[in-house]
Amino acid sequence: MSGSRLPGTDVRLLHQSILAWYAAHSRPLPWRDPSCSPWGVLVSEVMAQQTPVSRVVPAWQDWMSRWPTPADLARESPGEVVRAWGRLGYPRRALRLRDAAIAIVERHDGEVPRDQSELRALPGIGDYTAAAVAAFAFGDRSVVVDTNVRRVQARVVSGLAQAAPSLTRAEVDLARELLPVVDHDAAVWNVAVMELGALVCTARAPRCGDCPVRARCAWVLAGSPAYDGPVRRGQKWHGTDRQVRGIIVQALREATGPVGRAALAPGRDEQQVDRCLAGLIEDGLVEPLSADRFALPGLVEASG
């Protein structure tokens, strides 16, 4: 595979080196076990979005113990699903996962579909997650591009310190060009490149001495030039609506019953709390029981 978009790159050697490295150094994550169901893979992909794997593993294990199939989750109340999501962040993902479970039961007899177009049609499932489930649950040939993959590609093939601030068509085309021909190898390649980016070719302080393709890395061969692209600004957290939303949801998770308005986010700006409450109610994450009493959706009725 020495396609025209990869001049001077020996893709075959990249495949051999990275796949061999992955076989020896990959983390034994539970959703990578051959016995893991497609549902378990889908749950792991949704949980791992913008969340460190170290936090995902215990949450995934608890989740799969409680709801080992889509049908199990589909029968659960929205509030209990949000409560079980814990501190994974972005709790709307929990509701979307429940919505996806309901759709899987209604449209696919409780079985996670294999076809990527059918996966993308599920609530909350985008291009990346559909491609990842097709590859990692079914071993299908698909183009899976996350932040780690983009960074490895940028360095090894393009000679850049970092990928572009957001995903580009050129990056997707490059990932497709790099896929091995055999479907199984392509599926393993996707996760192998991700793992290399997560463990070795990291955004900060990459461990180039441990990299299996250091001798063929365009960035290293160019002298590891510094990133000179658009400035990447870190996201502010303290004092933001996102922080206050998290405080409100956590207060409701920890409560055994309805919570009064004053106890949701004490000490916070009243207007900000009202704004965040309104947004959480609109998103289906909070249920107003009266003018000043709130709960996670469905929990009061479920416990009554």
Confidence of residue 276 (pLDDT cuts 50, 70, 90): confident
Whether domain 241-303 has CATH 3.30.460.80: the reply is no
Radius of gyration of the chain from its Cα atoms, rounded to whole angstroms: 22
Clarify whether 254 is annotated catalytic: no
pTM of the predicted structure, to 2 decimals: 0.84
- The span from the CA of 270 to the CA of 94, in Å, is 27
Confidence of residue 152 (pLDDT cuts 50, 70, 90): very high
Question: What are the tens digits of pLDDT across the range 39-81?
Answer: 999 999 999 988 889 999 999 999 999 999 999 999 999 999 9
Dihedral (CA of 180, 182, 187, 189) sign: negative
Residue 235 confidence (pLDDT): 61
Kindly list the distances between the CA atom of residue 45 and the CA atoms of 31, 82, 184, 275, in Å, as whole numbers in the listed order: 9, 17, 19, 30
- The span from the CA of 101 to the CA of 99, in Å, is 5
Q: Render 34-71 in DSSP notation, one character per residue.
A: TT--HHHHHHHHHHTTTS-HHHHHHHHHHHHHH--SHH
Residue 50 confidence (pLDDT): 84
Contact criterion met (CB below 8 Å) for 294 and 287? yes
Question: What are the tens digits of pLDDT across the range 160-187?
Answer: 999 988 899 999 999 999 999 988 899 9
Contact criterion met (CB below 8 Å) for 57 and 30? yes
Q: What percent of the chain has pLDDT over 70?
A: 93
Contact criterion met (CB below 8 Å) for 84 and 104? no
Q: Quick one: average pLDDT of 262-285?
A: 90
Q: Which residue has the higher pLDDT, 5 or 174?
A: 174
> Which 3 state secondary structure label does DSSP give 230?
coil
Question: What are the tens digits of pLDDT across the range 90-128?
Answer: 889 999 999 999 999 999 999 999 999 999 999 999 999
Residue ranges of domains in the chain: 241-303
Residue type at 304 in one-letter notation: G
**How does the average pLDDT of the chain come out, rounded?**
90
The active-site residue out of 45, 171, 195, 287 is 45
